[in-house]
Amino acid sequence: MFFVIIRLMLTDQIRNLKNEAIGEILEAKDASEIENTRATFLGRSGKLNQLTKEIPNLALEEKKHLGQLINEVKINIESAIEQSLEKLNVKNFQNKWFDVTLPGIRPEQGHLHLITQAISEITNIFTELGFHRARYPEAEWDWYAFEGLNMSQNHPARDEWETFFIKDLDNKKYGKGVLTPHTSSGQLREMEKYSPPIRMLNIAKCYRRQSDMSHAPMFYQFEGLVVDKNINISHLKGTIDYFTKKYFGPDRKSRIRPFHFQFTEPSFEVDVTCLICHGKGCRTCKQGWMELGGSGMVHPTILKNAGIDPEKYTGFAFGWGVERVMMMKYGIPDIRLLFDGDLRFLKQF
- Judged by the rule CB under 6 A, the positions of this chain that interact with ligand PHE are 182, 184, 223, 261, 264, 293-296, 317-319
Which of residues 80 and 298 has its CB atom nearest to ligand PHE in the complex?
298
Eight-state DSSP code of residue 86:
H
Shortest separation between residue 200's beta carbon and ligand PHE, angstroms:
11
For ligand PHE, give the closer residue by CB, 196 or 293.
293
Nearest to 186 by CA among 218, 224, 157, 231: 224
Instruction: Write down the least CB distance from residue 110 to ligand PHE, Å.
Output: 32
Phi, psi dihedral angles at 251 (to 5 degrees):
-90, -5
The closest of 125, 141, 144, 139 to 190, measured between CA atoms, is 144
Q: In the complex with ligand PHE, which residue's Cβ is closer, 177 or 296?
A: 296
CB of 292 to ligand PHE, least distance (A): 10
Rounded to the nearest whole angstrom, what is the least distance from the CB of residue 317 to ligand PHE in the complex?
4
Least separation in angstroms between CB 296 and ligand PHE: 5
> How crowded is the C-beta side of 76, counted as CA atoms within 13 Å?
18
Q: How far is the CB of 102 from ligand PHE (least distance, A)?
A: 56
Find the radius of gyration of the CA atoms of the chain: 35
- Between CA 263 and CA 272, with CA 267 as vertex, the angle to 5 degrees is 125
Instruction: Tell me the closest approach of the beta carbon of residue 230 to ligand PHE, in angstroms.
Output: 19
Q: Are strands 175-179 and 198-207 parallel, antiparallel or unpaired?
A: unpaired
267 and 260 in contact (C-beta within 8 Å)?
A: yes
Q: Closest CB to ligand PHE among 247 and 316?
A: 316
Q: Which is nearer to ligand PHE, 37 or 293 (CB)?
A: 293
In the bound state with ligand PHE, the residue whose beta carbon lies nearer, of 114 and 317, is 317
The DSSP secondary-structure symbol of 290 reads E
Residues in the chain: 349
CA-nearest of 305, 30, 26, 283 to 148 is 305
Amino acid present at 274? C
Whether 294 and 269 have beta carbons less than 8 Å apart is answered as yes
How many other CB atoms sit within 10 Å of the CB of residue 308? 21
Go through 148-164 and write b for each residue having 16 or more CB atoms within 10 A of its CB, e for each that does not.
Answer: bbbbeeeeeebeebebb
- Contacts of residue 179, defined as CB under 8 A and 6 or more positions apart, other chains included, come to 138, 139, 140, 163, 164, 166, 206, 207
Between 196 and 224, whose beta carbon lies closer to ligand PHE? 224
Minimum gap (Å) between residue 222 Cβ and ligand PHE: 10
Q: Which is nearer to ligand PHE, 84 or 150 (CB)?
A: 150
